Chains A and B, each alone.
Chain A
């Protein structure tokens, strides 16, 4: 395409690869979607990722009658579930998008066009990081997926299926291969990935390696966690500020998905995360929005992990309890279940976001932040990856000191169950819960129940095959090379 003759185009295509996680298409908030077959607002990467990781767990329920959305709570999704399909399609959309750019930016192609510049090399490395991130999501959620790289040109061919172990190895090798070409931690422009983003992803990959491949890689998880911690990220002093309209200023966030009330508009992404929990007697103005959507709440399991629901002790307990019931008798009633007030479109000084309508927040999504890495370090230590337990306890106490505002919440010893609960307290609603519960063996089976797990109020045992989502039937039909995941 002629677009590659203009050196300025490369950065705009790079911007598209990042924007692919945030917006739904080329017109904000909607109008020219990237993927179709589902409502455009539903189609965004972050909204789907969040739903797949959170609605399936004890961290959230949603009360909307949208298609088969409820399957997520009920844990009875099938291969034709449109939300599972949308997540899968988003992942592979990102992969083909990044493949296209990587294919078009080889040294040979750049030389042929007379385009030069070391930035393009960096862009290319970032594209490979973004591809690795999407493949990581594919690995985590779908396991054995079609595999395409820049070597596969656009056209009608049938991609081959890879195994989870092969995909693991590929992601690992890619992230290591780009290490030299990515910029040093905290030196890139805001919004773009750097070495620390790749290290965080490697740490996550290794921490879950036993789930993905059957082989433990806790030492590596520890190594890469430590690299990130040592890179100099600092905790935001006030926990709540991490989720506000000016969270782009935070030195805790390693890799954000950015949003903006004027320039990055979508009905998915942070628009969903800010609006959907607001309902009942909650005041939308406090959230910097014109009105809430009244849908998403949490279960009592999460509330009960905190010393109290008011946040008097642990300030991370950000629940809206007035006129809300702790128990969820009726999933479709907004008042059943506490609402969560974490994400807001107001700044740390109380100013409303830039969109005068209050529809589209300025708040960015903290995809990776260093608090998560502290917890990963501690977990890797406990799982035998080496390192120091004292150092691990120290990291966790840093989080708790921020949460309590003093040392009253500090702990002296840790175990794995504590880590899982602490991850819930620190990272709830940030898209980690499903992966965490699986790693701890508590997602399926009877080891851990929560309200509406398995479609009953008290929660019930669900089969183990649900640890992986199915390959959508649409792709099974389109691509005879694919074999369905076990159980579906």
Chain B
């Protein structure tokens, strides 16, 4: 029978009993639906009594109600705990998001950047205010430079501490791995949490100055086994090529301007060397996981296989990974055990990146192959007097790739077991023990045949190296949580101990094909970190929150007198929206003020023994002859007995807010960070130490900035949902001191070495300026805007242009950087994008400054030039001209994705297909290949490709 009827009702907010506007009301499994009106009322025609009504609203738990014989259905929607009651991991514990006092941002798997992601940090690139993630190159598995709120150090490490499932990782390089993080399969990651201010990070003490990233991996699901299989297929290709002269243009240039020697070397081939060295590169990435609960044992097992080719020929990364996660409970759920085991094996082939620069400068009139068997068949420039490869000339770019076999095998396993015991007699008290390891074993080899251009004189290359790293962790803490209803308070106190030991050895054997040994090297080093830490949280009326933390760290890297450091922090948060005057507000659903202060450290310095006097024995290749015997020499090393960690003091003030009706939330943070006792390499007074420069504690840096982010769902209907997120950061970095003895005339420390000449630098650290400010001559132009070769502004007007006229101008650090991401769903379709941008950063175009001059030469080879050479007409390299300094502001579409949820196939398989394009486009004024180069000096980096990916996900 036709039984359509009308159902009406009202939807109210479970939190404050107010009427809810704009709630989606729909009939499950149909396209029938409506929205509540201004008074929270709805009215809907439903097909039959068996229909189910679905009430949904952002931030609330959706409710389903069977209609039955009812005609009025009123519902109350409760807050979705996963949004407002969301629990966030913090150092040594977790906390409800709404109770956080520090600046903490968490991104979970559904919000991760999509596409072919090989290394975990790329999952959140552009997603978090205050966090800059710049991939180092386009090579397979390449790492990224992660900067949280600007770097706090000059010479010490500026990388954040990364903690994986409670295990603080050693993130220093692993031999043979292009990036230690790429040994972790991004598909196993559930959340990525960034602790930004000192009140959040200080619990990690001497390693926390550059922020802390907490990564948690996926855990076992409830119920019967769920199997998930995903496969991705990608194709990457170069976005653009360096603009060099074509064969005919180059021949014309040499004919016009070259001398007879040069003209005699021109040939008739037409070779586009860049096209020769790059390729379209295919990648497959396959992941299978099983997750469920058997008895009281939740488990998750996953395996992954990635085979990624790089666009530079021969580069490849092959990774097999597996992980096991078990989280059983015992003793009536009083004892929770968490076991995480991850292992991966990666086989890499590294391309010879020397080919990138060679392809720019190799003469395009020369052929690729010589037509003879010698030198591997590749054309090379020969020394006319010897007929052997010319040692000064550029080597054949393709030969450099194809004849060099550079491979590595790397195994890394990270595992830990966490015992969390809630005392039977005192359930408020919890003991937590974490035992873990992080082990890697690498070995690699570089082989080049004898009698080819690259290694001709040496007689080929046959090098092998290996590295073993063994890091151990033991951590224990007690946590006591008590509600004190009498005084409407809650206390949460934690105290613990941590021990970490880092041991590594390296060996390196360099030989030629005949077996002559050129280097035989072994090195072993160790350091240990011991810590005590504690935290107290106090909350009053669930509105006023106070957190105090303290960590005491002892590092073997410093002398017993300087070994121990104390790192305190305090933070206060006020949940203003829970106050009476806002509690019933119709507009504001959440408003919280956070204030934090803390001191953190940085101890990641070169070498494990900087405070000890020690002697180093020389290699046999640096021996000295007495009589007819050679002696390996003993060198006393320079040292600073008083070296200690640097200290960063951070102040943070933030506001978190959310509006009720507009589905909009966000936060604003202001921070001020001052680092003192910088670990800096400075000149020692000559004669006072066994070196001329030493790593010591001197200097101060300030970083201050504002972070702003906003998340909104502008449209939310039954069929269509649109999420939009925006974040922007302004960071100002200033050096405030650099010398032990105050000296206002100190010009600064030259940094920023470039290619071209030897020892040439284009940047400087100076008091009063940002770190790595550019330090160049100001170019003078003619009336047509053409730069005049070698003519610069006499800044100090003393009549001569010399080094005193070099000027500090701009820096690689942008004034602003931002991210915009969005996701749309329409019925079974979904689409989204992630974009990033940066404004005000500058880049030194080192490629133009080295390959942008044409001069006559007596060399027995020719080098092509970039087209810029025809613009400037420079005959001698002008490395220090600010002509080569360019605005590197950019806007980049990191990812655009489109997908379709096919849904249940035969009621068994849940299938989704997707398509992605990564690095879709870049808008910039920068004239080089890519405006994003960490450090601000662009010189032949492995270019980032554009990647198209097709993906299929099946759930069983």
Contacts and interface: CB of A to CB of B under 8 A. Distances in A.
B466 to A, nearest CB: 18
Contacts of B682: 478
A477 B633 contact: no
Given A28-B619, A68-B803, A96-B687, 20 more contacts: A15-B634, A16-B618, A16-B634, A22-B624, A32-B622, A34-B635, A41-B758, A66-B758, A67-B760, A67-B761, A92-B692, A156-B684, A157-B685, A158-B688, A284-B386, A292-B391, A323-B858, A356-B457, A475-B686, A478-B684
Interface in A213-263: 248, 258, 260, 262-263
B956 interface: no
Contacts of B687: 92, 95-96, 146-148, 152, 159
B31 interface: no
Contact of B625 (A81, A92, A190): A190
Contact of B622 (A1, A23, A146, A294): A23
Interface stretch (B59-67, B117-125, B740-748, B917-925): B740-748
B803 A281 contact: no
Nearest to A334: B858
Nearest to B613: A1
Interface SS of chain B: loop
Contact of B385 (A38, A96, A189, A281): A281
B634 A9 contact: yes
Interface stretch (B103-111, B223-231, B636-644, B809-817): B636-644
Given A1-B615, A35-B693, A291 B633 contact: no
Contact of A279 (B631, B684, B743, B858): B858
B631 A15 contact: yes
A480 B459 CA distance: 53
B457 A290 contact: yes
Interface in A25-62: 25-29, 31-32, 34-39, 41-42
A192 B628 CA distance: 12
A19 interface: yes
A35 B683 CA distance: 10
A442 to B, nearest CB: 24
A330 to B, nearest CB: 9
B617 A26 contact: yes
A473 B695 CA distance: 19
21 contacts: A15-B626, A15-B632, A16-B624, A23-B622, A26-B618, A26-B622, A28-B621, A28-B622, A66-B760, A82-B759, A96-B690, A156-B640, A156-B740, A159-B687, A262-B621, A283-B386, A285-B386, A291-B383, A356-B458, A477-B683, A478-B741
A305 interface: no
A24 B740 CA distance: 28
Nearest to A282: B385
Contacts of A264: 621-625, 630
Nearest to A260: B625
B877 interface: yes
A391 interface: no
A11 B631 contact: yes
B456 interface: yes
Contacts of A147: 687
Contacts of A27: 519, 521, 618-619, 621-622
Contacts of B29: none
B384 interface: yes
Given A190-B625, A264-B622, A293-B392, A480 B741 contact: yes
Contacts of B456: 290
Query: Among B625, B627, B632, B693, which residue has the most Cβ atoms of chain A within 10 A?
Result: B625
Nearest to A156: B688
Contacts of B633: 12-13, 15-16, 19, 26
Interface string A454-475: 0000000000000000000111
Contact of A18 (B624, B638, B855): B624
A181 to B, nearest CB: 17
Contacts of B4: none
B390 interface: yes
B625 A191 contact: yes
Interface residues of A, number: 97
Interface in B547-563: none
Contacts of B640: 156
B879 interface: yes
Interface in B331-361: none
Contact of B392 (A93, A154, A158, A291): A291
A208 interface: no
Interface of A: 1, 3, 9, 11-13, 15-16, 18-19, 22-29, 31-32, 34-39, 41-42, 64-68, 76, 78, 80-82, 88-89, 92-93, 95-97, 100, 145-148, 152, 154-159, 189-192, 248, 258, 260, 262-266, 279-285, 290-294, 323, 332-335, 356-359, 473-475, 477-480
B685 A478 contact: yes
Contact of A42 (B622, B759, B876): B759
A258 B624 contact: yes
A474 B738 CA distance: 12
Interface in B760-796: 760-761
B95 interface: no
Nearest to B806: A80
B171 to A, nearest CB: 24
A65 B876 contact: yes
B457 A358 contact: yes
B584 interface: no
A359 B457 contact: yes
Contacts of A290: 388, 391, 456-457
Contact of A29 (B516, B620, B621, B684): B621
A39 B746 CA distance: 22
Contact of A356 (B516, B521, B622): B516
B622 A191 contact: no
Contacts of A159: 685-688
Given A3-B634, A335-B858, A154 B458 contact: no
A291 B624 CA distance: 25
Contacts of B384: 281
A477 B690 contact: no
Contact of A479 (B391, B681, B686, B756): B686
Contact of A285 (B385, B759, B802): B385
Contact of B390 (A82, A280, A291, A335): A291
Given A26-B619, A281-B384, A263 B392 contact: no
A93 B694 CA distance: 13
A248 B627 CA distance: 10
B624 A66 contact: no
A12 B691 contact: no
Given A190-B626, A191-B626, A65 B760 contact: yes
B804 interface: yes
A284 B385 contact: yes
A475 B693 CA distance: 11
Contacts of B519: 27
Interface in B638-683: 638-642, 681-683
A155 B689 contact: yes
B739 interface: yes
B859 interface: yes
A474 to B, nearest CB: 4
A95 B625 CA distance: 21
A95 B855 CA distance: 44
B624 A146 contact: no
A45 to B, nearest CB: 12
Contacts of B859: 279, 294, 334
Given A12-B634, A16-B634, A480-B741, A93 B618 contact: no
B240 interface: no
From B384, B388, B688, B692, name the one whose CB has the most chain A CB atoms within 10 angstroms: B692
A478 B690 CA distance: 15
Contacts of B615: 1, 3, 9, 13
Contacts of A477: 683, 739, 741, 743, 746
Nearest to A23: B622
B371 interface: no
